[in-house]
């Protein structure tokens, strides 16, 4: 049986993620992992999912989205509310079941908002999506700052700017979520990464994925071929929103409290930096960039107040290095040689 090349690549990707997971679990089990890194494992999973999902919009469908943290915010808050509701009102004790259900709820709500924004905006051309998503992120943050949710028996209460609700408060306006049980676990985080890869890789390698990329590369030609550009752009955008919402729920349930201010413009840009630095359209680049750039500021703690300065310098150096023709050809040469070795092609691959 001969598998398609894309299938083989996908299987290799899953295998690498699973291997990384096993190494992490082994390090935790043998107490070889520093506390600071262990505490960051779930945020790393979250940012990887965020970066891969944003790459779907920015890299694969070629639209600039500056409000990805808005979807994360919706996912985080709806996930937190769902989790508390399942526990308090429905008496669902199992943490893992609540976590998975909350992640699904977070993804669903973010998806609904993705559709609502996508319908008017994806019909437009040019930079409109960037501007609208930018505004969307800010609107979400300001709205959540005025929102109050509480659960009282089986009933969920919501109010705007009025904190005096019956029952126990879950979302407390500017104070953010409160009284949430932190139930996120590393295995679920890794499963979410696998799920994201599965969805994104399958979408990219499908008929729809080719239509999405055709619309990106030449809209007029794609339309002439009979492709419904809006529909396919919508597909990429909503998928990305759902995944970001799921990541948000995982993020929210990792902390006992979080505020809407966390999901502001800066976070959207941070995720965009992961995507750009990893290489636009490059899924593995996003994963590596997200993991490294999340860990980097913590590694630089030894430099105290200068660490953000050093972080910025590192970003610039990486940008310059990845765009340097000599280093690029070096990398390309390495990759080519590896492939050549694997294929056992007689001539081998010379570096340029």
Where does this chain bind another protein (CB under 8 A)? 34-36, 38-40, 43, 142, 145-146, 161, 163, 172-176, 178, 182, 255-259, 261-262, 297-305, 308, 330
CA dist., res. 272 & res. 278, Å (int): 10
Beta carbons of 239 and 56 less than 8 angstroms apart: yes
- Of 26 and 306, which has the nearer Cβ to another protein? 306
At 94, give phi and psi (nearest 5°).
Answer: -65, 115
Q: Which C-beta is closer to another protein: that of 146 or that of 199? A: 146
Give me the least distance between CB of 118 and another protein, in Å please.
26
Measured from the CB atom, is 157 or 307 closer to another protein?
Answer: 307
Give the residue with the Cβ less far from another protein, 207 or 301. 301
3-class SS of residue 185: coil
d(CA 79, CA 72): 10
CB of 109 to another protein, least distance (A): 21
- Identity of the residue, 62 or 179, whose beta carbon is nearer to another protein in the bound complex: 179
CB of 178 to another protein, least distance (A): 6
Q: How far is the CB of 43 from another protein (least distance, A)?
A: 6
CB of 254 to another protein, least distance (A): 8
What minimum distance in Å lies between the beta carbon of 35 and another protein? Answer: 4
Beta bridge partners of 147: 160
Query: Whose Cβ is closer to another protein: residue 46's or residue 204's?
Result: 46
Give 14-75 as a 3 state SS string: HHHHHHHHHHHHHHHHCCCCCHHHHHHHHHHHHHHHHHHHHHHHHHHCCCCCCCHHHHHHHH
Q: What are the residue ranges of helices labelled H in the chain?
A: 5-29, 35-55, 68-88, 95-121, 128-144, 186-204, 207-217, 219-224, 229-252, 265-278, 283-299, 307-323, 325-343
């Amino acid at each position: 049986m001969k598998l398609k090349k894309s299938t083989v690549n996908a299987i290799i990707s899953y295998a690498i993620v699973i291997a990384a997971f096993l190494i992490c679990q082994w390090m935790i089990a043998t107490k070889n992992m520093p506390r600071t890194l262990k505490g960051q494992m779930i945020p790393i999973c979250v940012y990887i999912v965020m970066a891969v999902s944003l790459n779907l919009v920015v890299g694969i469908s070629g639209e600039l989205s500056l409000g990805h943290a808005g979807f994360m915010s919706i996912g985080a808050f709806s996930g937190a509310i769902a989790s508390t509701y399942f526990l308090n009102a429905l008496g669902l004790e199992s943490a893992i079941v609540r976590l998975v259900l909350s992640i699904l709820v977070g993804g669903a709500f973010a998806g609904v908002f993705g559709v609502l924004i996508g319908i008017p905006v994806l019909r437009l051309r040019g930079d409109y999506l960037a501007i609208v998503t930018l505004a969307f992120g800010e609107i979400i943050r300001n709205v959540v700052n005025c929102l109050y949710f509480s659960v009282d028996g089986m009933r969920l209460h919501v109010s705007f700017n009025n904190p005096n609700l019956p029952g126990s408060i879950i979302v407390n306006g500017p104070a953010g979520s409160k009284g949430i049980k932190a139930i996120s676990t590393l295995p679920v985080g890794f499963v979410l990464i696998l799920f994201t890869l599965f969805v994104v890789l399958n979408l990219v390698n499908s008929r729809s994925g080719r239509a999405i990329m055709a619309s990106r590369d030449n809209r007029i030609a794609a339309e002439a071929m009979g492709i419904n550009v809006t529909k396919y752009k919508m597909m990429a955008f909503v998928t990305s929103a759902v995944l970001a919402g799921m990541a948000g729920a995982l993020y929210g349930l990792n902390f006992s409290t979080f505020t809407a201010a966390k999901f502001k413009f800066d976070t959207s840009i941070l995720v965009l930096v992961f995507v750009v630095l990893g290489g636009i359209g490059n899924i593995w680049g996003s994963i590596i960039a997200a993991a490294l750039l999340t860990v980097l500021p913590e590694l630089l703690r030894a430099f105290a107040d200068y660490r953000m300065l050093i972080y910025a310098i590192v970003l610039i150096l990486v940008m310059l290095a990845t765009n340097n023709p000599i280093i690029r050809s070096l990398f390309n040469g390495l990759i080519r040689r590896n492939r050549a070795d694997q294929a056992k092609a007689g001539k081998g691959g010379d570096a340029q």
